[in-house]
């Protein structure tokens, strides 16, 4: 069962020759065409992989240069996209037939092989290409914990083209251990909101600023644009060096942020860390491509670091978390007068908007436990001043935890001087 596995993604740039670049570009183009052919045939007819594959396989093979396995994967990708549309439609959202424009292509263990010399072999529309993985010089690069371990096995991966570079998102999985299988889904919950101004804000009022990251992502983007416009071989080399610097910088920021979130969960003795659903975070936040990638990578880093501590990591729906008052529950557009401020027009409570959203995200998971047959419904949300339950019951943290100025007054602590 899929739930028996822990899954991770390791991202690395590929070193490619001009000939390999042409083959990969052609493969990406044919992949998009194959996915679209399968989608056009299956849309309105079927959505299961087992139905889409026999329906579309022959046409994908006939009208593209994809190999047999990639034709199967393209049918599966179409099925996945159609299933996503059906799920959104069931929630009352307007959907249209998927179109495939992203410069990506899916790989599995039949179309991709990793070698011990840090190279990878990839199927293309003509022949296999063998490329070097542009891994960090140091042996402590995060990819090593997966590449060098017998515990992790390779699963489906994705090749992405961006700004003239090719990045391979390598999927890994391992079996869950007994502790991970038995991680409690109830208990104390830490809510986390992700954003631009603040990269991460927790329900315990920990703020990890995103200003420096946003500024530097913009600067890297300017440099890339200038070098691409120059177009010389020297500029291309400089572009590769700049991309490596950018990746190292962002990885360092996300490493510090993920450590801070897990440390916060440990400090408040949390059993679960909860994020909002990341599916449409780019639309909700106005995030750049770089930010969207950073959000997903941060989530993955928190996931594996938290699970190593016996803390589970979950996602909940994001609807109205930014417009709902965490104090009284009133939801309205007018509650967000500015990007950073939250002022409830009903109960008049005020808070930082990201902090208000973090509490809503955590409380949504807590409330969901009350309707779940798999959970006891005894979860509580971690705040800086104590823990709160959906019923309004509040337990103050012991002496040593600062009172939370953005919360409404709570029952006095046993030791008022604390």
d(CA 232, CA 225): 13
Nearest to 336 by CA among 316, 319, 320, 359: 320
Question: pTM higher than 0.85, yes or no?
Answer: no
d(CA 271, CA 380): 10
Return the exposure string of 278-314: e unless at least 16 CB atoms fall within 10 Å of the residue's CB, then b: beebeebbebeebbbbbbbbbbbbbbbbbbeeebbbe
Q: Give the up-direction half-sphere exposure of residue 193: CA atoms within 13 A in the CB hemisphere.
A: 33
Contact 228, 164 (CB under 8 A): yes
Sign of CA dihedral 240, 243, 249, 253: negative
Q: What angle do CA 93, 97, 100 make, to 5 degrees?
A: 120
Q: What is the pLDDT of residue 398?
A: 53
Q: What is the pLDDT of residue 196?
A: 84
Residues of the chain with pLDDT under 50: 1-2, 182-183, 399-418
Q: What is the pLDDT of residue 70?
A: 97
Domain boundaries, the chain: 5-175, 180-396
DSSP conformation class of 2: G
Q: What is the pLDDT of residue 377?
A: 62
Average pLDDT, the chain: 81
- What residues contact 348, with CB distance under 8 A and at least 6 apart? none
DSSP structure string for 80-129: HHHHHHHHHHHTT---------SSEEEE-TTTEEE-TTSEEEE--SSS-E
Nearest to 6 by CA among 201, 212, 183: 183
- What residues contact 63, with CB distance under 8 A and at least 6 apart? 33, 37
- What residues contact 107, with CB distance under 8 A and at least 6 apart? 73, 122, 123, 156, 157, 158, 159
- What residues contact 299, with CB distance under 8 A and at least 6 apart? 275, 278, 313, 315
Q: What is the pLDDT of residue 56?
A: 96
341-343/380-382 β-pairing: unpaired
């Amino acid at each position: 069962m899929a739930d028996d596995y822990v899954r991770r993604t390791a991202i690395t740039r590929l070193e490619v020759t001009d000939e390999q670049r042409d083959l990969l570009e052609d493969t990406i183009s044919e992949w998009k065409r194959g996915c679209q052919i399968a989608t056009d045939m299956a849309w309105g007819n079927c959505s299961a992989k087992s139905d889409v594959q026999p329906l579309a396989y022959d046409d994908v093979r006939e009208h593209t240069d994809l190999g047999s396995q990639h034709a199967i994967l393209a049918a599966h990708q179409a099925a996945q996209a159609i299933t996503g549309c059906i799920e959104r439609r069931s929630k009352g959202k307007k959907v249209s037939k998927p179109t495939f424009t992203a410069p990506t292509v899916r790989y599995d263990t039949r179309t991709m092989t990793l070698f011990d010399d840090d190279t990878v072999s990839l199927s293309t529309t003509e022949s296999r290409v063998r490329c070097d993985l542009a891994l960090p010089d140091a042996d402590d690069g995060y990819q090593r914990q997966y590449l060098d371990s017998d515990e992790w096995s390779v699963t489906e991966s994705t090749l992405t083209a961006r700004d003239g570079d090719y990045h391979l998102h390598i999927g890994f999985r391992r079996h869950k251990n007994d502790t991970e299988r038995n991680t409690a889904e109830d208990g104390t919950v830490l809510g986390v909101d992700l954003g631009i101004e603040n990269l991460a804000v927790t329900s315990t009022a920990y703020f990890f600023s995103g200003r420096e990251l946003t500024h530097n992502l913009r600067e890297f983007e300017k440099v890339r644009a200038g070098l691409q416009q120059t177009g010389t071989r020297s500029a291309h080399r400089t572009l590769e060096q700049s991309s490596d610097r950018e990746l190292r910088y962002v990885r360092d920021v996300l490493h510090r942020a993920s450590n801070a979130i897990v440390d916060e969960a440990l400090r408040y003795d949390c059993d679960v860390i909860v994020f909002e659903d990341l599916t449409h975070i780019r639309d909700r936040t106005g995030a750049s491509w770089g930010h969207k990638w950073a959000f997903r990578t941060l989530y993955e880093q928190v996931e594996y670091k938290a699970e190593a501590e016996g803390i589970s990591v979950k996602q909940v729906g994001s609807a109205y978390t930014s417009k709902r008052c965490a104090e009284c529950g009133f939801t309205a557009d007018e509650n967000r007068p500015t990007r950073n401020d939250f002022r409830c027009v009903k109960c008049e409570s005020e808070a930082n908007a990201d902090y208000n959203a973090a509490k809503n995200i955590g409380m949504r998971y807590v409330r969901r436990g009350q309707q779940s047959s798999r959970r006891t419904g005894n979860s509580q949300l971690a705040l800086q001043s104590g823990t709160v339950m959906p019923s309004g019951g509040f337990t103050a943290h012991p002496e040593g935890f600062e009172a939370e100025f953005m919360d409404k007054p709570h029952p006095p602590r046993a030791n008022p001087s604390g």
